[in-house]
Amino acid sequence: MHNGFIQCKILYICFYQYSRRGGVELKAFIMKLERIFVLMFPLSYEPVLNRRCVIMKVMDFTTEKYLEAQRQSAAAIMILLPKNISSVPHDNVQSFMVSESEALLKETLMPVYVVPEDEQLLYMYEEVKQAAATRTSSIFIRGERIKRIYGCTFTFYCKEAGKIQHLRFGVLPGTGEDAPTIVITAHYDSFGLAPWLSYGADSNGSGVTILLELARLFQKLYSSPSTRPPYNLMFSLTGGGKYNFLGTKRWIEENLDHAESSLLHDNVAFVLCLDTLANSDKLYMHVSRPPKQDTPIQSFIQQMEEVVSSRFPWVKVGLVHKKINLVESTVAWEHERYSLRRIPSFTLSHLEDPKSELRGSILDTMSQVDFRKLKRNGIIIAEALARYMYNLSDKGSPKDVQVFKGQLDFQDGRMSNLMSFLTSVPRASQLLDKEPSHILLVNSLEHEFKRYLQQVHRHAFRQDKRDPDITFFDQMDQPIVMYRVKPAAFDLFLGGCIAAYLGIVYYAIQNFGYLYTKLKAAVKSKHQ
């Protein structure tokens, strides 16, 4: 109210001065109006973002610009996401992923909208960009005097305090009554700046794809008593992986603390966690403590190194040791959930840094997947597992022996179809039980398990509403409505016209007698 009063007062003084002078030159009048316009609309000349919506493309989004908008209390940020991510240069993709991960770590009340590009949005963007071009050379578009973009009213509310975390597992029983168990696990949910646009191709669609292919191949080996190894092979798909691996945590607690009999209670050789395996010529084994000699993990690592050296010598294999910090509230990798319960485990990934931006980005799409490297990593894991379970090294088998070939080979078409299906819908945890397409995805994963595995179980864990670990909010996907409005200068011009019209009418009423006399005299003289 105070600002509006000041603006009206300035406008009144201006017209009052002109009315007393009896008229001024048009140029001076325009200059006076321009000075008033600067006072009334400083955003047209100064880089102030208060109550403005900042619009930018993926290539323009940086942490510095995000923090600047937050510091100036911008109303919102709208990021235009291209339809074809592969058309974006690799450097721009990496830069956005870094900025995205940094932005997710910072607390803010400013809404951030991610919108897929279309013709109308691009047309609007170009118009705003041209309008701002005279004020700034930066692509960091500010809400100018010509355009104002309003989104629909976004009301976020929570239907329930906690989200259901799904987990499904199946077993291939080995020979012997007390056979040790090998657990192969991967989380299947995704994460990013916008949950509805998080497809998680590499993280962790790649891990799920390799796990499902391993289940198919090893099922053929376990189907015959002559080729069945002396190990129980358990496959596990977990939810909540992007939220501190809550699904894994609840499943371990249920099997160790509440179940009287469980495969986790028995002899566990090791737990192999698959995470981000669809790219790079590097393969890292992440462990919480260095494996000792003559342990199952150390033996498996040796077998994997033999497979790599004999068949894929260009692949770099490394061991990354990271202790678990009990002070931190989150864990870096899924294997740390098992290590906390003293279960031998490790994670395989082509990423060396657990904080890599690729593990949670909306740009982690099919363009980030190299199917040849995905298949190669799957072959390395499968061959190393077979060599370990069948003890081929001690039996004198050559280092380049191939177990999985012919009918047991990895199928390119199947892996491509699995990855395409996994990335057909976003897999953010808060979406997986909302839409029919997401429910179909979850049910299809369970169907794949039942097709190749035995003792398939599906668990659903609901968080405690009184003290939830995390809280999910609804309304992740909302339409944004844009209204085309006239500039403020047009309102000023229209107000001036109305004021002039009312002034003329008022003058005519006040001097009606004089005008009537003049008009009557003019008509009389005309008739004469």
Segment 304-320, tens digit of pLDDT: 999 999 999 999 999 99
Is 112 strand, coil or helix? strand
pLDDT band at 216, cuts 50/70/90? very high
pLDDT on residue 45: 37
Residue 251 pLDDT exceeds 60: yes
Count of residues in the chain: 528
**Average per-residue pLDDT in the chain?**
80
Looking at the structure, do residues 367 and 227 belong to the same domain, yes or no?
Answer: yes
For residues 322-331, average pLDDT: 88
Q: Which of 461, 478, 503 is the last residue of a domain?
A: 461
* pLDDT bucket at 132, cuts 50 / 70 / 90: low
Half-sphere exposure of 163 (CA within 13 A, CB side): 24
Q: Are residues 57 and 97 in the same domain?
A: yes
In a domain, 384, yes or no: yes
**Mean pLDDT value of segment 421-448:** 88
How far is the C-alpha of 359 from the C-alpha of 363, rounded, in Å? 10
Instruction: Please state the domain count of the chain.
Output: 3
Is 86 found in the same domain as 15? no
Residues 70 and 200 in one domain: no
Q: What local confidence, expressed as pLDDT, does residue 37 receive?
A: 39
Interacting residues of 61 by C-beta distance below 8 A, sequence separation 6+: 79, 96, 99, 100
Give the per-residue pLDDT at 483. 67
Of 142, 272, 137, the C-alpha closest to 218 is: 272
In this predicted structure, what is the pLDDT of residue 471? 72
Considering the domain architecture, whether residues 32 and 71 belong to the same structural domain is answered as: no
With respect to residue 393, please indicate whether it lies within any of the assigned structural domains.
Answer: yes
Rg (CA), the chain: 33
pLDDT for the residue numbered 165: 54
- Over residues 64-79, the pLDDT tens digits come to 999 888 888 888 888 8
Residue 365 has pLDDT above 70, yes or no: yes
Q: Pick the most confident of 106-110, 151-155, 271-275, 467-471.
A: 271-275
Asked whether the predicted pLDDT for residue 464 surpasses 80, the reply is no
If you average pLDDT over each of 87-101, 252-266, 467-481, which comes out highest?
87-101
Kindly give, in sequence order, each residue whose CB lies less than 8 Å from that of residue 116, ignoring residues fewer than 6 positions away.
80, 81, 83, 197
Of 157-166, 266-275, 284-293, 507-516, minimum mean pLDDT range: 157-166
Same domain, 282 and 141: no
DSSP 256: I
Q: Does residue 310 belong to any structural domain of this protein? A: yes
166 class by beta-carbon count within 10 Å (0-12 exposed, 13-18 middle, 19+ buried): buried
Assess if residue 103 is contained within a domain. yes
Whether residue 447 is contained in a domain is answered as yes
Q: What is the pLDDT confidence band of residue 121, given thresholds at 50, 70 and 90?
A: confident
Sign of the four-CA dihedral 40, 42, 48, 49? positive
Confidence of residue 7 (pLDDT cuts 50, 70, 90): very low
In a domain, 489, yes or no: no
Query: Of 53, 60, 46, whose CA–CA distance to 139 is shortest?
Result: 60
Q: What is the pLDDT of residue 148?
A: 38
Choosing from 405, 437, 461, the residue where a domain stops is 461
Find the domain containing 184 and state its range.
Answer: 165-461
> CB–CB of 382/404 below 8 Å?
yes
- Residue 130 is predicted with a pLDDT of 76
Residues 6+ apart with CB under 8 A from 39: 7, 10
DSSP character string of 194-242? SGGG---IIIIIHHHHHHHHHHHHHHHHHTSTTT--SSEEEEEEES-TT
Rounded average pLDDT over 424-444: 87
Same domain, 453 and 352: yes
Average pLDDT over residues 383-406: 87
Question: The domain that contains 365 carries what CATH number?
Answer: 3.40.630
| Ordered DSSP codes for 353-418 | -TT-GGGG-TT-SGGG--HHHHHHHHHHHHHHHHHHHTTTTTTT--TT--SS-GGGSPPHHHHHHH
Q: Give the span between the Cα atoms of 144 and 487, in whole angstroms.
A: 9
pLDDT of residue 161: 39
493, part of any domain: no
| Residues facing residue 285 across a β-bridge | 319, 348
Model confidence at 369: pLDDT above 60: yes
Average pLDDT for 210-229: 94
Q: In the structure encoding, which two tokens stand for residue 116, read together? A: 């897929």
Residues 172 and 97 in one domain: no
Question: Can you spell out the DSSP letters for 161-204?
Answer: SSPPEEEEEEEE--SSTT--EEEEEEE--B--SSGGG---IIII
Average pLDDT over residues 501-524: 85
Higher per-residue pLDDT: 246 or 488: 246
A 10 A CB-CB count for 40 gives 19
| Distance separating alpha carbons of residues 264 and 478, to the nearest angstrom | 43
pLDDT at res. 527: 76
Mean pLDDT computed over 455-467: 78
Query: With bands split at pLDDT 50, 70 and 90, how would you rate the model's confidence at 388?
Result: very high
111 and 228 within one domain = no
* Contact partners, residue 382, CB within 8 Å, separation at least 6: 213, 214, 217, 218, 403, 404, 410
pLDDT(299) > 80:
yes
* Percent of the chain clearing pLDDT 70 (strictly above): 77
Token pair listed for 8:
């009206």
pLDDT on residue 145? 35
- Residues 263, 398: one domain? yes
Q: If pLDDT is split at 50, 70 and 90, which confidence band does 229 have? A: very high
pLDDT tier for residue 521 given thresholds of 50, 70 and 90: confident
Structure tokens at 489: 């200068």
Strand extents, DSSP E, 426-492: 454-461
> Is residue 120 in some structural domain?
yes
Q: How far is 50 from 42, CA to CA, in rounded Å?
A: 11
Residue 191 region by backbone torsions, left for phi larger than 0, else alpha for psi between -120 and 50, else beta: beta
User: Could you tell me if 356 and 265 lie in one domain?
Assistant: yes
Please state whether the peptide bond connecting residue 204 to the residue before it is cis, i.e. omega within 30 degrees of 0: yes
Encode pLDDT of 169-179 as tens digits: 889 998 888 88
Range from 421-425, 435-439, 499-503 carrying the lowest mean pLDDT:
435-439
Last residue of a domain, one of 149, 183, 207: 149
Pairwise pLDDT comparison (260 vs 502), residue with the higher score: 502
Same domain, 401 and 303: yes
What's this model's pTM, rounded to 2 decimal places?
0.78
